[in-house]
Chains A and B, each alone.
Chain A
Amino acid sequence: LAKTTQPISMDSYEGQEVNITCSHNNIATNDYITWYQQFPSQGPRFIIQGYKTKVTNEVASLFIPADRKSSTLSLPRVSLSDTAVYYCLVGDYSGNTPLVFGKGTRLSVIA
């Protein structure tokens, strides 16, 4: 499985846009990039997934450059409720190898 590297922590003020970048230099052709969000005392939840270019949903946007060796999760105008740990994972749909959750990026939103 492609290994991912992301910052351990980030701080942001309310109302700002937050960008969390994940590196995955050895991503394979069939791999997708998936982000999960985990609030304190809860299990993670899927927030967005992409293969290339840009994906947007009601929660976030995911930017993936042409070489796919990195990706950026963008959270527009964060609020205190966006304080959470964000995990970047890389893997495909066909294999039977489980995902590996790293330590993620702990985002703290400050009023």
Chain B
Amino acid sequence: NAGVTQTPKFRVLKTGQSMTLLCAQDMNHEYMYWYRQDPGMGLRLIHYSVGEGTTAKGEVPDGYNVSRLKKQNFLLGLESAAPSQTSVYFCASSYGGLAANEQFFGPGTRLTVL
């Protein structure tokens, strides 16, 4: 099992460009999450999904959109990238409810917006 994978691993964008980050999991998990982590900071939740076809906002959703068309995939989109979105993005998944269930994290995507 690959667990949680993220594509791409690195990306450099210019301000105003758009891109989509792909997260895939092969554990048949219902819940998936997108976090961002800035230097010296903890993880902040951007959006999450409690099942195929559902999405919900987290702590810092502005400037991002997500889609969960298939259970195994969770896409994070940046429509018009800004330098403030320079960060490391982590995707995670869990079997059950959000709070106490173990979350499995991907390796991260390092995004730089110039």
Contacts and interface: CB of A to CB of B under 8 A. Distances in A.
Interface string A14-40: 000000000000000001101010000
Contact of A97 (B4, B33, B99): B99
Interface residues of B, number: 28
A95 B107 contact: no
Contacts of A46: 102-104
- Indicate the size class of the contact surface on chain A: 20 to 34
A22 to B, nearest CB: 13
B33, B44, B103, B107: which has the most chain A beta carbons within 10 Å? B103
B4, B43, B44, B101: which has the most chain A beta carbons within 10 Å? B43
Interface stretch (B13-21, B68-76, B78-86, B89-97): B89-97
Contacts of A103: 40-42
Contacts of A36: 103
Contacts of A99: 45, 98-99, 103
Nearest to B41: A103
Interface of A: 1, 31-32, 34, 36, 41-46, 49, 87, 89-104
